């Protein structure tokens, strides 16, 4: 496990304010999140004992752009993505933010949250600043691995670092809460979107309604569904089915949806 602590200037300021008793809640570092996940989740792919990364038979790219392309297109194969990233770091030009983003995205597809956080830690040690794509990919890894708390913590770290979330960030975090059956947190995140200048979309509402369904909150699910036209959103099949499922699972009397 890497030992470099990922702390941006914004995060350091936040921790300073905490120490001064301002009353803000202490946010975890990437290293702390990685340690928390060390004993859980699916096992990572085997690594070569000499380099720490898996060996594959491949022809090495000759430039930063070509490395980035190779890692991007290897995103469905975590072993290959990690090996290429390792080779890129060893090259004269070093690794780049897009290369790390593609590798973290590969971790998300493989549900390897711990490795995704380790790569974010590496970025800080290399003097690279995670961007919105970095955080979105790491949060997606958490959502896919049913690590809703880590997803929420990453969102909080993202905001404290001065990186503005987008709809993908919020939708993915809400989806993580939905998978974790955390309907209250999901609705809290939906309500917070306007503070970032964001507007809920159909994906947002579908995930929130599904979270309410899993939490047995059929009335909340129907309220969300009925609020969609006022937001300029047209419910789709997934949204309506989630609301119907919430009603059926609660054994509530039938209600005309969307009125």
Highest mean pLDDT among 19-23, 106-110, 248-252: 106-110
Task: Tell me which residue range forms the domain holding 224.
Answer: 167-259
Q: What is the pLDDT of residue 12?
A: 42
Do residues 128 and 211 both lie within one domain?
no
Contact (Cβ atoms closer than 8 angstroms) between residue 229 and residue 200: no
List, for residues 211-246, the tens digit of each pLDDT value.
999 898 989 998 999 999 999 999 888 888 888 887
How does residue 9 score in pLDDT terms, banded at 50, 70 and 90? very low
How does residue 23 score in pLDDT terms, banded at 50, 70 and 90? very low
Q: What is the dihedral of CA 109, 103, 181, 163, to 10 degrees?
A: -150
Which ranges of 20-166 would DSSP assign to H, the alpha helix? 30-36, 64-73, 78-90, 97-109, 113-125, 132-144, 148-160
Q: What is the pLDDT of residue 147?
A: 95
List, for residues 46-79, the tens digit of each pLDDT value.
544 344 444 444 454 557 778 777 877 775 688 8
For residue 3, being part of any structural domain is answered with: no
Do residues 60 and 106 both lie within one domain?
yes
Q: What is the pLDDT of residue 69?
A: 79
Any residues with CB less than 8 A from the CB of 148 and at least 6 apart, and which? Answer: 142, 176, 177, 179, 180, 182, 185
Last residue of a domain, one of 164, 195, 222: 164
Do residues 70 and 137 both lie within one domain?
yes
Q: What is the pLDDT of residue 24?
A: 38
Q: What is the pLDDT of residue 29?
A: 60
List, for residues 72-121, the tens digit of each pLDDT value.
777 568 888 888 888 888 886 788 999 999 999 999 999 999 999 999 99
Last residue of a domain, one of 164, 193, 226: 164
Last residue of a domain, one of 164, 194, 225: 164
Contact (Cβ atoms closer than 8 angstroms) between residue 178 and residue 210: yes
Do residues 158 and 182 both lie within one domain?
no
List, for residues 146-193, the tens digit of each pLDDT value.
999 999 999 999 999 999 999 999 999 999 999 999 999 999 999 999
């Amino acid at each position: 496990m890497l030992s470099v602590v990922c702390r941006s200037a914004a995060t350091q300021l936040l921790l300073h304010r905490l120490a001064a008793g301002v009353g803000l809640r202490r946010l975890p570092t990437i290293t702390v999140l990685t340690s928390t996940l060390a004993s859980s989740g699916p096992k990572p792919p085997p690594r070569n004992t000499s380099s720490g990364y898996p060996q594959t038979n491949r022809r090495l790219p000759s430039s930063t752009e070509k490395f980035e392309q190779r890692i991007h297109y290897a995103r469905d194969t975590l072993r290959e993505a990690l090996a290429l990233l390792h080779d890129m770091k060893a090259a004269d030009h070093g690794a780049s933010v897009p290369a790390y983003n593609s590798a973290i995205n590969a971790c998300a597809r493989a549900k390897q949250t711990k490795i995704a956080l380790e790569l974010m830690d590496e970025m800080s040690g290399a003097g690279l600043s995670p961007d919105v794509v970095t955080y979105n990919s790491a949060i997606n890894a958490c959502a896919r691995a049913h690590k809703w708390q880590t997803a929420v913590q990453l969102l909080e770290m993202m905001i404290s670092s001065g990186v503005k979330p987008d709809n993908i960030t919020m939708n993915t975090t809400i989806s993580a809460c939905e998978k974790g059956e955390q309907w209250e947190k999901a609705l809290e995140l939906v309500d917070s979107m306007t503070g970032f200048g964001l507007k809920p979309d159909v994906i947002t509402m579908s995930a929130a309604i599904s979270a309410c369904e899993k939490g047995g909150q059929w009335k909340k699910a129907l309220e969300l569904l009925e609020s969609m036209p006022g937001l300029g959103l047209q419910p789709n099949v997934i949204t309506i089915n989630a609301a119907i499922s919430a009603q059926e699972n609660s054994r509530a009397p039938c209600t005309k949806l969307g009125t």
